[in-house]
Chains A and B, each alone.
Chain A
């Protein structure tokens, strides 16, 4: 079994982002970047499936600029066997990312694609479902438990009212929720070893895909800010404020 894991380089989740003054986007120059946290969980799950003997190869793939190589090296240091970068400086929407990934899947023929349920920058939560649709594969989104079996997976999904378990035939696309696992850290020897692992770079233009623009970003604004109010001295004062000033009780 071969697992493909799609990873994205995003602004580190603990960085407080700033909207650019010309409202074209968010400042990314000289800002700490990291692997999207949900994708780290996807890598971890793939490694665990390999450690159980279910999978034999874990391939990490990313789409983005030259610096996405660092993100892939991090994936290799965690334990992925090899990596592929689809290099492009274009800003891509989910549907086009799914189309690029479909091409990679057609070439690599994995049995399972693992991806984060959403990236913490776009917050879209779309690409795994779109990839599954383009491949006409089964999907299991928001996975918090994956039980492997021959020819299928039993996946527990986080849904609004609790949990849902479904059985999906392979090949399939599974997207990870936070609760799926606790990702490991890369050890120094593994970071060194990762430098020698194979990382293929494919230019997006060479893939022969016709990617149409479906959406135009008109502007990016900072949200209305909320300022702190007052600190009250006691529970009685709080209730008074809620009742007479805010009138919410």
Chain B
């Protein structure tokens, strides 16, 4: 068994999800290889090499990979796929964009959002917005899969850096060209890996009032999330969305404020350890899964909560 893990990064820093994906890889194979593709990404390769359990890091550093377009990464990975039995990436927008393309080029299936590895061929993953768990056996020789990062504990231990092999193969993205990024800037923890997440919904009423959620998050050192309703209403950018079509989170503490708890939202947070709901509607579905529910006006309760957290 030999496993390749695609490392998600921005050419400077390794995305924390790599640690979770590595944990999944280590369940398949005790000598996984990490692949870092980018431009001037040697720092990332160095970070990857010190993660406990990594056998080797392959680093492909070339200006053509600056923006890591799906077409070129797929061609590159396919060029050396025959050395591997499994190819993994996190089920982020990065992994989802690239891995199905790799699988199709290899004429193999791809398993999405793997939440449990049963054996080298058998995997569990959620379907129907997390309302069913499907167990599948892959019949192909190469297993290509994206990993639900919240289902695997991140590798946090370090090791002495393993060998970094620099390779240079150029695969220009023929038909695609990067134009620009518009990234949300935030000082807060990353939503996907935060220990505490505070999310706001339609109940916040406006973008101005949504700042209350930011204040609560700051008092807790938490990341900020949102329901689709809050995103559609323009209170916050899309990448805050927690749910079936947004991000899946599983923090230690999830506080849902002014969120009714539609199936599509629950899909993204119901594996949180402790769920708190603050809502004025005592029949809101969110209370059916919340460990602690507080019924009342969020505009009174949240400021009180912030005040008491500050005085602790």
Contacts and interface: CB of A to CB of B under 8 A. Distances in A.
Interface stretch (B31-39, B101-109, B207-215): B101-109
Interface in A124-163: 124-134, 137-142, 144, 154, 157-163
Contact of B104 (A130, A142, A172, A217): A130
B294 interface: yes
Given A126-B100, A178-B228, A228-B290, A162 B71 contact: no
Nearest to A121: B128
Nearest to A122: B127
B126 A215 contact: no
A217 B135 CA distance: 6
B63 interface: no
B3 interface: no
A215 B138 contact: yes
Instruction: Give the bracket for the number of chain A residues in contact with chain B.
Output: 35 or more
Interface stretch (A57-65, A77-85, A106-114, A218-226): A218-226
B42 interface: no
B163 interface: no
A229 B286 CA distance: 11
Given A218-B137, A239-B305, A248-B274, A130 B128 contact: no
Interface in B126-173: 126-140, 173
A218 B135 contact: yes
A177 B238 CA distance: 10
Interface in A179-196: 179
Interface string B28-62: 00000000000000000000000000000000000
Contacts of A216: 136-137, 139
A124 B114 CA distance: 11
Contact of B100 (A19, A133, A172): A133
Nearest to B247: A160
A129 B301 CA distance: 46
State the majority secondary structure of interface residues on A. Answer: mixed
B290 to A, nearest CB: 6
Interface string B273-298: 11110000010000111111111000
Contact of B273 (A95, A141, A248): A248
Contacts of A19: 131-132
A88 interface: no
Interface string A200-229: 000000000000011111111111001111
A235 B304 contact: yes
B94 A160 contact: yes
B274 A167 contact: no
Interface string B68-111: 01110010000000000000000011101111111111011111
A51 interface: no
A131 B181 CA distance: 26
Given A137-B175, A218-B122, A249-B253, A120 B132 contact: no
B253 A160 contact: no
A103 interface: no
5 contacts: A117-B245, A125-B96, A126-B112, A129-B70, A231-B294
